[in-house]
A = this chain, B = another copy of it.
């Protein structure tokens, strides 16, 4: 499954999703959200980013389906939509770790 030819439209969508994660600020926010739902204001405080900026990143992440949105009175709570996001990050981290290990080996003379 998902093994056969991908249509250009599908590929564009996949690329768009990867792009949503291709930003340190958004990864940082996702990491904060890993601790549980947060309001925009809490995310602002946790990340040190400007409010409007956080809001914009959240909309992008929500549009890409990576975060959930729940309005409660005056506050809007955002949360992680599906744990597989972290599988993505873990694979990337694994690749990086493997690379730096190889690099160390090379530097060590073989």
Tell me the A residues contacting B by CB distance below 8 Å. 2, 5-6, 8, 10-19, 21-24, 26-28, 31, 65, 82, 84, 87-97, 99
Contacts and interface: CB of A to CB of B under 8 A. Distances in A.
B11 A18 contact: no
Contacts of A21: 15, 18
Given A6-B31, A95-B65, A95-B84, A18 B15 contact: no
A87 B12 CA distance: 17
Contacts of A97: 2
A88 B96 CA distance: 14
A94 B12 CA distance: 15
A17 B94 contact: no
